[in-house]
């Protein structure tokens, strides 16, 4: 275990002794939360995973990574300041990673108020709970490239202005600025990662990339013939999620808190994703993809591509997985899942 992974705590006999760092990861049942939890566990952290109670606890991502029994699950609700304060006082984490959100853009148009309350105001509630109960803890906020929205400059970096085009993007911008405000006003070690699109086999099926990879697997196995999508011309900067959580951790190891764009610097269209996904199983995408206006956003974000040169310079972070390899990994994982389900 490295020096960065251990902290000193007082011994009742007057000596100091090392203990494993403790991290609280909100949204631990999501894609990024699960990968980050595994990454921290591998570094020797004690990991507490915050989750919002629902009718059924969805642990499939933690199960797939074989870490369910190693994460200490904590009911944690960004709508409830009292709940957050109690968990912080009991767990006393050295690092807090806020990955919880209502994170599906399309849903944010249908539920703008709850999206703003969870994804925006929830960040301010959590920061204030930290300020009052555990101000020495280091804080990471999951910001989003959706904050840029209607871009006028390419690529986008930390200084590019925001023009969000959805309630989700607007809420993320509020959370981002709140993080900057608490850092500058109260001296908190609070950093934001402005993450561009990052995917994996653990992506939710409501997101277009996983919708495509799962459809390809089902078509490959003869269970469906077509997939219905929206804007095939939308272009995004797609990276591999397990690599992006490494950047999150690196931000909190810096002496000075700051904000960082995390991206590949390469832009591909949804059409490109379809072509690569179907090619992974030897199919021509054009015979299986149809478009439906019902899948379009009320306000589209046409092009996003990030400049992560600051993350490379300060954190030493660079993406390692190519676009083609990312798509192949997602398709192969879904092909295997569908095969298991057919048995």
Helix axes 323-342, 270-279, angle to 10 degrees: 60
Render each residue's pLDDT in the chain as its tens digit; 343 residues: 343 444 444 443 343 446 789 999 999 999 999 999 999 999 999 999 999 887 568 899 999 999 999 999 999 999 999 999 999 999 999 999 999 998 778 888 899 999 999 999 999 999 999 999 999 999 999 999 999 999 999 999 999 999 999 999 999 999 999 999 999 999 999 999 999 999 999 999 999 999 999 999 999 999 999 999 999 999 999 999 999 999 999 999 999 999 999 999 999 999 999 999 999 999 999 999 999 888 888 888 999 999 999 999 999 999 999 999 999 999 999 999 999 987 7
245's CB contacts (< 8 A; 6+ apart) are: 32, 35, 36, 39
Domain boundaries, the chain: 15-199+239-262, 208-235+267-303+320-338
Predicted pLDDT at 55: 55
Predicted pLDDT at 59: 95
CA dihedral 243, 199, 115, 142 (to 10 degrees): 10
* CB 76, CB 51: distance < 8 Å: yes
Cα–Cα distance for residue pair 115/117, rounded to 1 Å: 5
Predicted pLDDT at 18: 60
The residues annotated with a catalytic role in the active site are 144, 146, 168
* CB 219, CB 288: distance < 8 Å: yes
Q: Under CATH, which architecture does the 15-199+239-262 domain have?
A: 3-Layer(aba) Sandwich (3.40)
Predicted pLDDT at 312: 98
Largest CA distance in the chain: 73
H/E stretch holding 249 reads helix 241-252
Q: Which residues of 61-78 are buried (b: 16+ CB within 10 A; e: fewer)?
A: bbeebebbeebebbebbb
Write out pLDDT tens, residues 266-288: 999 999 999 999 999 999 999 99
Burial of 210 (0-12, 13-18, 19+ CB in 10 A): buried
CATH class of 208-235+267-303+320-338: alpha beta
Predicted pLDDT at 122: 97
For residue 128, report the phi and psi dihedrals to the nearest 5 degrees.
Answer: -70, -35
């Amino acid at each position: 275990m490295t020096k960065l992974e251990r902290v000193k705590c007082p011994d009742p006999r007057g000596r100091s002794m090392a203990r494993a760092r403790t991290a609280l990861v909100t949204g631990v049942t999501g894609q990024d939360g699960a990968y980050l939890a595994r990454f921290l566990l591998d570094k020797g952290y004690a990991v507490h995973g915050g989750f919002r109670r629902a009718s059924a606890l969805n642990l499939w991502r933690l199960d797939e990574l074989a870490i369910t029994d190693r994460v200490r699950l904590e009911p944690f609700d960004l709508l409830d300041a009292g709940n957050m304060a109690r968990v912080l006082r009991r767990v006393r984490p050295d690092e807090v990673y806020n990955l919880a959100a209502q994170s599906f853009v399309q849903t944010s148009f249908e539920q703008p108020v709850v999206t703003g309350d969870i994804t925006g105001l929830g960040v301010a509630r959590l920061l204030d709970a930290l300020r009052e109960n555990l101000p020495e803890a280091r804080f990471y906020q999951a910001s989003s490239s959706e904050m840029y929205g209607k871009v006028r400059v390419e690529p986008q970096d930390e200084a590019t202005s925001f023009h969000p085009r959805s309630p989700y993007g607007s809420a993320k911008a509020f959370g981002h600025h709140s993080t900057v405000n608490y850092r500058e006003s109260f001296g908190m070690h609070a950093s934001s990662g402005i993450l561009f699109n990052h995917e994996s086999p653990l992506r939710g099926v409501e997101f277009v990339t996983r919708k495509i990879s799962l459809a390809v697997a089902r078509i490959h196995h003869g269970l469906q013939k077509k997939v219905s999508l929206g804007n095939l011309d939308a272009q995004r900067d797609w990276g591999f999620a397990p690599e992006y959580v490494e950047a999150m951790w690196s931000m909190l190891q810096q002496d000075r808190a700051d904000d960082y764009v995390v991206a590949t610097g390469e832009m591909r269209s949804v059409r490109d994703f379809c072509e690569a996904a179907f090619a992974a199983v030897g199919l021509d995408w054009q015979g299986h993809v149809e478009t439906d206006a019902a899948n379009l956003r009320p306000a589209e974000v046409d092009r996003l591509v990030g400049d992560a040169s600051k993350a490379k310079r300060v954190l030493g972070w660079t993406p390692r997985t190519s676009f083609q390899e990312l798509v192949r990994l997602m398709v192969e994982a879904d092909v295997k899942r569908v095969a298991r389900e057919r048995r």
